[in-house]
Amino acid sequence: MSLPLILELFGPAIVATLLAALLCPAVGALLFVRRSAFHGVVLPQVAAAGTAAGFAVLPWWTLHVGLAGMTTLEAVDSPHALAGYLLGWAFAGTALGLGLLHAFGRREGADPARLAVLFAVASALTTLCALSAPVGGERIDAMLKGEILTLDWHAVEVLGGSYALVALLLARFGRELWLVGLDPELAQVLGFDRRRLELIWLGLVGITVAIGSLLVGPVVLFGLLVIPPLAARQVARSLRGFQVVAVLLGFAGAVGGLALSFWADWPLGPSVVVACALCLPPAWAEGRRRRLP
């Protein structure tokens, strides 16, 4: 398949993946600073469970609540109406996950085990909702496998606008968020409003995960939120460098994953994760070399 034909057929998916690669590693770097890197794995799965639940209750919703006066089949055939409906469910799942993670974080020593339970339950609910959904089961399967090549340009516009908002908020409140993540007590001494910054942070993560999981899939988010920051931490010399290197590695992984997907005819999501993971061995080797006397 020639490059012009690939761009014509799959341009929206390519652009969406690259947009996610520019933002998600920066958010993931902050997750690492806040010692909550595993949230980058749990939250996309919880958002996916919310999306799957939306498909499972779609017939009931159109009958009893209503969706622009459409029947279930009409809603499925209306991409914009269905996307708005599913986005609400993705946000609901993400908000529930953030609330549970916040509650878990207040309990000393409970975080890792409870995170694992939340991930397992969300994975199970996603599968059960996919099996019980009278419509949309194929789309859920594609989302879980990382097959996102059927996006349209409207989805890219939604993703781009939402992620641009997140990027602007990161640029405005980035230093405060870094300080609160590194040393909450010092941030409070300096007069920062920790509650306001926590709400901003939850909003940033919620938008990133909910919209990203729906449009580019949880598999891509897994890779971009966790792997590039993990590698960047080994080679970066400063906090700013940590975030910049994470974004560069994430973008390189996205480009490599796109190439691998089209070359090997693999799903895009797993291809991006594999490409991102290729940067880990050299990063670990470089980090070990720097620690040697």
The pLDDT score that the predictor gives to residue 109 is 46
The answer to whether residue 33 sits within a structural domain is yes
Kindly give the confidence (pLDDT) of every residue in the chain, 293 residues in length, as a single tens digit, with 9 standing for 90 and above.
667 777 777 889 999 999 999 999 999 999 998 888 888 999 999 999 999 999 999 999 999 898 888 888 888 888 788 888 999 999 999 999 998 887 776 555 446 778 888 999 999 999 999 888 887 777 788 877 777 767 888 889 999 999 999 999 999 998 888 888 777 777 777 778 888 888 999 999 999 999 999 899 899 998 999 999 999 998 888 888 999 999 999 999 999 999 999 899 888 889 999 999 999 999 888 888 877 66
Residue 133 CA to residue 138 CA, distance in Å, equals: 10
The answer to whether residue 292 sits within a structural domain is no
DSSP of 180-198, one letter per residue? HHH-HHHHHHTT--HHHHH
Residue 269 CA to residue 75 CA, distance in Å, equals: 26
The answer to whether residue 261 sits within a structural domain is yes
The answer to whether residue 291 sits within a structural domain is no
Helices (H), 65-152: 72-76, 79-105, 111-132, 137-145
The answer to whether residue 289 sits within a structural domain is no
What CATH number did the domain enclosing 155 receive? 1.10.3470.10
The answer to whether residue 290 sits within a structural domain is no
The pLDDT score that the predictor gives to residue 128 is 92
The pLDDT score that the predictor gives to residue 245 is 94
- Residue 140: name the closest of 208, 75, 47 by CA: 47
Structural domain total, the chain: 1
- Encode burial over 256-281: b for 16+ CB neighbours within 10 A, e otherwise: bbbebbbeeebbbbbbbbbbbebbee
Domain of residue 216: give its range.
Answer: 3-282
Those residues with Cβ within 8 angstroms of residue 215's Cβ, 6 or more apart along the chain or in another chain: 16, 148, 151, 155, 158, 159
